[in-house]
Amino acid sequence: MAETPRPLVAGNWKMNGLRGSAAELTKIMSGAGEVAARTDLMVCPPATLLATFASLAQGTPVAVGAQDCHAEASGAFTGDLSAEMLRDAGAVAVIVGHSERRQYHRETDTEVNAKARAAWRAGLMAIVCVGETKDQRVDGKTLDVVHVQTQTSLPDGATAANLVVAYEPVWAIGTGLTPTPADVAAVHGFIRRHLETRYGAAGRQIRILYGGSVKPSNAVELMQVPNVDGALVGGASLKADDFLGIARAYL
């Protein structure tokens, strides 16, 4: 029987944080201790803080990731950042296909796939997000949506080292609403079966994170759900105490 993947708790800071926010990273690093012995920790700040955070976190148990990348390595793409640039700034991973990118920037599954491959090209781990909207859930289309997103957004050749999948029900992000453990188990089990069918033995070790209003008060319950291998945390990751409180679900 395959070993359970080592958990990952990653914080997506979104468009939040100024230079003074490095103090929260310092608190996370200083409090990581026993948590980091059992769980991988990652903070994904805005691009303006990426190099600073990577420098501060070097040699600590806290990894630093980015929030998005362009599919091309370089070129005339004003305002965009390539995966190579993120790697050069110190990132070890990059989030792609987050629902906010899909919604506000109209990113398609094909574009997300290209960004994931770009991450691999640069030596970064791709954290690929999938998840349904409230209307899609109400219509009973959750698994259909997740199936299309995983089938099309995930590139061939994935391994536990280069891919993490994050299930984020769009209707739960930042709303305080959370699916029941049974709902989460159903979707995560569905994703696991897809990964195993497509990637074989590697699919059993690829981590599947849950995201969507994760907080210290519900982390233990959610992190105990089968095939939940950690969390992609939004707002709660901006405060060290809350972020570490979620990670302590694994102690």
Give, for all 251 residues of the chain, the pLDDT tens digit. Answer: 458 899 999 999 999 999 999 999 999 999 999 999 999 999 999 999 999 999 999 999 999 999 999 999 999 999 999 999 999 999 999 999 999 999 999 999 999 999 999 999 999 999 999 999 999 999 999 999 999 999 999 999 999 999 999 999 999 988 888 899 999 999 999 999 999 999 999 999 999 999 988 999 999 999 999 999 999 999 999 999 999 999 999 99
- Catalytic residue among 100, 107, 168, 188, which? 168
> In whole angstroms, what separates CA 99 from the centre of its chain?
11
In this prediction, residue 2 carries a pLDDT of 59
Residue 224: CB partners within 8 Å, gap ≥ 6? Answer: 181, 249
Nearest CA to 238 among 53, 49, 92, 25?
A: 25
> Hey, where are the domains in the chain?
92-251
Instruction: Using CA atoms of 191, 68, 11, 144 in order, give the dihedral in degrees to the nearest 10.
Output: -20
189 and 167 in contact (C-beta within 8 Å)? no
- Report how far residue 144's alpha carbon sits from residue 44's, in angstroms, rounded to the nearest whole number: 29
Please report how many Cα atoms fall inside a 13 Å half-sphere around the Cα of residue 108, on the Cβ side.
4
Q: Quick check: is 111 catalytic?
A: no
pTM (2 decimals)?
Answer: 0.97
Q: List helix spans (H) across 58-180.
A: 83-89, 99-104, 109-121, 134-138, 142-153
CATH assignment, 92-251:
3.20.20.70
166 and 211 in contact (C-beta within 8 Å)? yes
- Catalytic residue among 98, 100, 111, 132, which? 98
Q: Quick check: is 70 catalytic?
A: no
